Chain A
């Protein structure tokens, strides 16, 4: 990969001040880059900071520290008009198709709004034609132009949200839980649509979700978050076959597989307890309070996010870059049938 990544974030932090003395570290020191044309999946359970990460990259939240570079240019160094132009190339699809569309706007107004803001259409005719084309691209009838969001089902509304995100021909799309509010069969429709659009338009995508199987289907690489930290990052294939971080292993083993024979034979790693409060996270490694392999050092030092194998990153003392510490992981859970 010689060309600079489309998006590179370094040491990104987003802290929220709850009260004067309490700070919630929603995103804590995250490094990652996304190259042009790839889909990066971000998974994690509620409260892990995955949505905050997406929103901070989008600029919906002001970052606390760190840098975000889009196409090789640090966004802090951009002036207002450069930033405006950048936002045109970066769009977001939201989770709740019921809440993200203004109920008082027609489909035409909703989809045309980004084009109006950026003044990309010369006249009304072009504007209308463009919206009609977008509707067709996302699999909706062009006759829907003058309808209102309440007239549509959840899946159709999400398609409207996707059309809106595509209105400016962006390069990069952040999809924040775009399917979790939808039914199984409709989820498949929307994910298939996203995958097709990504291929056709050469989009780069960040797909945020808690459903690991869907993320695995759509992403080339996956990052796993826990309590504001990125704990593992690798190709989606590797993540499933050779998970390195104990949290990833537990997460994979917790997901029930729709196959009774496999389910019966599976050994599950059941994590004890629940997610600690992000306001007062554990010292050292954030996962140590629930980790089955916890060691003394885990309480003292935060593990570095290191490249354990080629392109496979993990933040765990079991895979530490410090000599003498690393040791082979006790038997990793088996996901193979039989």
Chain B
């Protein structure tokens, strides 16, 4: 398949499984998406939906031997990452492709100064001198809003607050000038006023460097603030994908709609909340049909037996739901009036 020039990352039919006591967990089951130059793709979903595993697969960080990419392809700038040797993959990790983890407390080594942690990667990867790396690290700290860089470099993680630590982790992710950053719940561990600062920082960094981002989050507010495009995941699959506006204003999959209804809007008077009853399916034995059908108010007989294909709603807006099938036109009308 030929690569479209502006696509930085192309993931196709990705399957990831983990061996666990009692069988195999099918954590990611046929995920496909792409990320264009300079854009932010948000992957949304609840815990266990496979959003983090997807990002780990792209980063080449699926823990072995328990975890395995069973099938699928991940192409980054045209290179097939699943076929790379560990050694070649390590050349890409942290340089062109880098990651920001959720918890800045555990992402940093408490026994090393932040200076040595910031420079470690770039000295190893780019073969530049320690002095040059040191200067670059100070510049990076400046960029993420930490002044007094020279002094900060000598300090240890515990001397910083949570928000500052996350800034340091961001500086580490940026230091080798990556073209794609994967941020896995980067603000979940932070307070809202600090989250606002960090999201603002992402915005500014993206304007300055043109880096692409995959933002993994469960917070639809963060999605509305940061994303260009959105992929909604449920039980190891992408159930809906489209532009931010497609997802928020024209949600076509019952799960996306339910998710939007299950949150309380601060700006609207709300007296009713519609929780999604039930729980996601067991991924040891994924359901034969649509994975949401057990909780779906519109489930039909076909949903229980056959997995719905991704159907185009409009332009690049797709959703995997049998209601969108032509043969379900009549039912869809009833649902829309529901």
Contact = CB atoms under 8 A, between A and B. Distances in A.
Interface stretch (A58-66, A73-81, A249-257): A249-257
B188 to A, nearest CB: 10
Interface residues of A, number: 43
A213 B191 CA distance: 14
B264 interface: yes
A188 B274 contact: yes
A337 to B, nearest CB: 7
Contact of B46 (A183, A210, A214, A268): A183
Contacts of B86: none
A337 B47 CA distance: 31
A237 B267 CA distance: 10
A126 interface: no
Contact of B200 (A185, A240, A268): A268
B221 A217 contact: no
A169 interface: no
A250 B224 CA distance: 19
B180 to A, nearest CB: 23
B225 to A, nearest CB: 4
A213 B263 contact: yes
Given A213-B265, A260-B224, A45 B193 contact: yes
A192 interface: yes
A184 B262 contact: yes
B220 interface: yes
Contacts, number: 123
A271 B193 contact: yes
Interface string B174-204: 0000000000000000011111110110000
A268 B199 CA distance: 11
Contact of B194 (A155, A240, A274): A274
Nearest to B192: A254
B126 interface: no
Interface in A244-292: 250-263, 268, 270-271, 274-275
B269 interface: yes
Candidate in B222, B223, B265, B267 with the most chain A CB atoms within 10 angstroms: B267
A128 interface: no
Contacts of A259: 224, 248, 265, 267
B273 A260 contact: no
Contacts of B193: 45, 250-251, 254, 270-271
B310 interface: no
B259 interface: yes
A261 to B, nearest CB: 8
Contact of B259 (A46, A185, A260): A185
Contacts of B274: 188
Interface stretch (B102-110, B148-156, B275-283, B320-328): B275-283
Contacts of A191: 273
Interface string A200-242: 0000000000101110110000000000000000000100100
Contact of A210 (B191, B223, B264): B191
Contact of A217 (B164, B195, B218, B264): B264
A251 B193 CA distance: 6
A109 to B, nearest CB: 24
Contact of A212 (B197, B248, B266): B266
B196 A257 contact: no
B273 A184 contact: no
B258 interface: yes
B163 interface: yes
Contacts of A186: 46, 275, 279
Contact of A258 (B192, B199, B223, B275): B223
B80 interface: no
Contacts of A268: 196, 200
A78 B192 CA distance: 41
Nearest to B274: A188
B263 A188 contact: yes
A255 B259 contact: no
13 contacts: A183-B47, A184-B263, A185-B258, A188-B273, A240-B266, A250-B193, A251-B193, A256-B219, A256-B224, A258-B263, A262-B224, A270-B196, A274-B163
Interface of A: 45-46, 153, 155, 183-189, 191-192, 210, 212-214, 216-217, 237, 240, 250-263, 268, 270-271, 274-275, 335-337
